[in-house]
Amino acid sequence: MNASLYTIPGARDAAPSAAGADASAPSVAAARGNAPGHSVARTVGEVLRESQVEAVLAELDRDLIGLVPVKQRIRDIAALLVIDKLRLNVGLQAQADSAKPSLHMCFTGNPGTGKTTVAMRMAEILHRLGYVRKGHLVAVTRDDLVGQYIGHTAPKTKEVLKKAMGGVLFIDEAYYLYRPENERDYGQEAIEILLQVMENQRDDLVVILAGYKDRMDTFFQSNPGMSSRIAHHLDFPDYAQDELMAIAERQLAGMAYRFTPAARQAFDDYLVRRMAQPHFANARSVRNALDRARLRQASRLFADRDRVLDEAALTTLDEADIRASRVFAG
Ligand SMILES: Nc1ncnc2c1ncn2[C@@H]1O[C@H](COP(=O)(O)OP(=O)(O)OP(=O)(O)O)[C@@H](O)[C@H]1O
Ligand SMILES: [Mg+2]
């Protein structure tokens, strides 16, 4: 098979002027050591200032509760990229194409552990350091890549790749691409196209595979080609109860709501019960629970036609808004 068949147009190599044309990405030019009028960065501090990556890392630390091992890995990857830039700036990279950092990643963890959120931050970091031109994230699942009929998969996959070029392609539950039980499954075709683009256009597209850890491990065992192209594996742990509580407070504050002390206690009790139930989805379940509490608060306020609703009334979730959940039933 001709490898160039799967070169996606609009990519960096196909459009050499693209880096210069994108004024919002000065770091791209800097990464290539040709930013006009700028002295080339020679210290870590200079690269961090120039790229403003420090700000993204600080935001990640501040906005996301817990996730200590994940945050550390992101810092490690950022360090690798910053050093890579400094190497490039002294002319090292040009000699060793194979030394280019491989950036494809795998994020494993249960639902609602922050994989998509962190992937978006990662895209931003890669963009600021000039490893992708645009820094957007295209999130897809099997259905976006694989067609139902013969001949439909390649165009679908290529269309998605085209959209993702210059950014990050995030493939949720990537293992569904591989269905060994179905001999003629079109998923295999999508995998083959992905593999080629991950190899040939890895300077302009970063692929992040996401999903449950055990299923991803099985997928990699059956797809060594995919496994060998993934350089970074990040495992997202389930949140502890106190972290979920902190996430709830953070999400509420973001929506301009707050708990009364009794409501906070009720939500703590809610979490204990909900965590023990099936289909608990970490921060996503917290989000859903808060959305339902807001609905109950709204119904409660709606029931009283004559009450003047001041800011306190409109922003406060009461104990009853939490305890009415069916999690407390029975
Ligand atoms: N550590 C965290 N701190 C604060 N909010 C978080 C954290 N992790 C996740 N969230 C919030 O929880 C929600 C779900 O997170 P996200 O979509 O990133 O999880 P996911 O692992 O991609 O889940 P899924 O597997 O269900 O797609 C988002 O609204 C996100 O902002
Ligand atoms: Mg997600």
Atom of ligand 1 nearest to the CA of 118: 18
**pLDDT at residue 276, rounded to an integer:** 95
The whole-number pLDDT of residue 18 equals 38
Count of beta carbons in the 10 Å neighbourhood of residue 66: 20
- Kindly report, residue by residue over 55-82, the tens digit of the pLDDT: 889 999 999 999 999 999 999 999 999 9
Ligand 1, atom 15, residue with closest C-alpha: 114
Residue 136, number of CB atoms within 10 A of its CB: 17
Q: From the CA of 116, how far away is ligand 1's center (Å)?
A: 7
pLDDT at 50: 86
177 touches 138 (CB < 8 A): no
* Residue 281 Cβ contacting ligand 1 at under 6 Å: yes
**Residue type for position 3:** A
At residue 232, φ and ψ (nearest 5 deg) are: -130, 125
User: What CA–CA distance (Å, rounded) separates 294 from 199?
Assistant: 47
Q: What's the 114 CA to ligand 2 centre distance in angstroms?
A: 7
- Regions of the chain short of the pLDDT cut 70: 1-7, 9-38, 93-99
248 CB near ligand 1 (under 6 Å): no
Check residue 213 and give left, alpha or beta (phi > 0: left; psi -120 to 50: alpha): alpha
pLDDT at residue 12, rounded to an integer: 57
Calpha distance 263→132 (Å, rounded): 45
Please tell me the pTM assigned to this model: 0.86
Model pLDDT, residue 119: 97
Structure tokens at 152: 């439909």
Whether ligand 1 lies within 6 angstroms of the CB of 110 is answered as no
